[in-house]
């Protein structure tokens, strides 16, 4: 069966999917032939440039178009060729599609496909839903920039909330340790910033002279809950949200809600200080 997209009449090479490397080209019923061009493959990959420049064996002289067997499935080959040829870019809907394509792109040294897949790996939808898998794939293939981006995204979610997947087996102890250390150090540094300034006031509970040295009642509740949240997610995303602040206002005095509203300057400074902490491996 020929590919519906890559079946060029002037093609001078056939890439056959789902086919082991052997001389008999005994392939599966799922095999698909991609009729492509020697010049395009050579330009896209130094590996192919060297391989296709080798003299053909005597047994291939009677073959009109040489066939190159590939063990990868047709979906992977089509993804790679869509990056190489000037056609519509591949649609990669999930990491289960991306991972084998990235493996094959690196295996066959298709630089343009590697770059495209690297960009797709750190798509917002993947970073939000599967940050640990993205981190695992990035570290597995030594993609330093993508690993750093994924490590930042992982700060927004508990590690225990990440579902186990086969990809995670490839994360080395070294790379996982770096991730854990980043989270712990950032959480520790963020918690250390939870110190109220002297002018953090509530007119009801610490506005009198005998209470002036004490923080407002809402502060103790806010600090303890913020510490718990930062240990799980060492970012500013939750602890400055309105629902989070409202809980502290409810346990304070009648003036604490107004005190929190008037302390926006303090929360702004605190948030900026937390955001400025190291956030990547």
pLDDT by position in tens, the chain (length 281): 888 889 898 888 899 998 876 555 566 678 899 999 989 999 999 888 777 665 655 555 555 788 888 999 999 999 999 999 999 999 999 999 999 999 999 999 999 999 999 999 999 999 999 999 999 999 999 999 999 999 999 999 998 888 888 888 899 999 999 999 999 999 999 999 999 988 888 888 875 655 657 889 999 999 999 999 999 999 999 999 999 999 999 998 899 999 999 999 999 999 999 999 999 99
Q: What is the pLDDT of residue 65?
A: 84
Burial class (CB in 10 A: 0-12, 13-18, 19+), 165: middle
Structural domain contains residue 213: yes
Structural domain contains residue 110: no
Q: What is the pLDDT of residue 153?
A: 97
Structural domain contains residue 66: yes
Burial class (CB in 10 A: 0-12, 13-18, 19+), 93: exposed
Burial class (CB in 10 A: 0-12, 13-18, 19+), 26: exposed
Which of 36, 69, 90 is a domain's end point? 90
CA-CA-CA-CA dihedral for 45, 49, 54, 60, to nearest 10: 70
Please state, in angstroms and rounded to a whole number, the distance separating the CA atoms of residues 231 and 190: 9
Please state, in angstroms and rounded to a whole number, the distance separating the CA atoms of residues 39 and 48: 10
Helices 144-154 and 173-192, packing angle to 10 deg: 50
With beta carbons less than 8 A apart as the criterion, state whether 10 and 39 touch. no
Reported pTM: 0.86
CB contact set of 76 (below 8 Å; sequence gap of 6+)? 17, 100, 101, 104
Q: What is the pLDDT of residue 57?
A: 58
Structural domain total, the chain: 2
Structural domain contains residue 105: no
Which of 62, 90, 118 is a domain's end point? 90
For the chain, counts of helices (H) and of strands (E): 13, 4
Q: What is the pLDDT of residue 58?
A: 56
Of residues 128, 65, 133, 74, the one with CA closest to residue 101:
74
With beta carbons less than 8 A apart as the criterion, state whether 202 and 216 touch. yes
Q: What is the pLDDT of residue 20?
A: 76
Which of 90, 109, 136 is a domain's end point? 90
Please state, in angstroms and rounded to a whole number, the distance separating the CA atoms of residues 249 and 261: 10
Structural domain contains residue 147: no
Structural domain contains residue 192: no
Structural domain contains residue 223: yes
Q: Tell me the two tokens of residue 195.
A: 């110190």
Strand partners of residue 7: 35
Structural domain contains residue 142: no
Name the residue range of residue 260's domain.
198-275
Q: What is the pLDDT of residue 54?
A: 57
Strand partners of residue 14: 35, 67
């Amino acid at each position: 069966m020929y590919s519906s997209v890559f079946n060029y009449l002037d093609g001078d090479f056939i890439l056959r999917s789902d086919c082991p490397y052997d001389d008999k080209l005994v392939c599966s019923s799922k095999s698909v032939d991609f009729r492509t061009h020697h010049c395009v493959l050579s330009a896209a990959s130094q590996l192919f440039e060297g391989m296709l420049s080798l003299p053909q064996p005597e047994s291939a002289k009677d073959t009109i178009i040489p066939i190159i067997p590939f063990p990868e499935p047709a979906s992977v080959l089509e993804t790679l060729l869509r990056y190489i040829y000037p056609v519509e870019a591949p649609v990669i809907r999930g990491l289960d599609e991306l991972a084998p394509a990235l493996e094959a792109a690196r295996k066959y040294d298709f630089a343009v496909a590697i770059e495209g897949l690297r960009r797709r790996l750190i798509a917002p939808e993947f970073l939000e839903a599967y940050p640990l898998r993205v981190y695992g794939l990035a570290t597995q293939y030594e993609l330093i920039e993508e690993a750093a981006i994924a490590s930042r995204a992982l700060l927004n979610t508990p590690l225990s909330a990440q579902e186990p997947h086969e990809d995670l087996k490839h994360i080395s102890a070294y790379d996982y340790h770096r991730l854990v250390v980043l989270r712990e150090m950032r959480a520790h540094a963020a918690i250390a910033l939870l110190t109220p300034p002297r002018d953090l006031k509530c007119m009801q509970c610490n506005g009198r002279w005998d209470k002036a040295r004490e923080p407002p009642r809402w502060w103790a509740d806010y600090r303890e809950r913020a510490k718990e949240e930062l240990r799980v997610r060492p970012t500013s995303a939750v602890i400055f949200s309105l629902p989070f602040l409202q809980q502290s206002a409810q346990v304070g005095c009648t003036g604490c809600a107004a005190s929190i509203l008037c302390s926006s300057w303090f929360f702004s400074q605190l948030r900026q200080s937390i955001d400025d902490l190291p956030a990547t491996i």
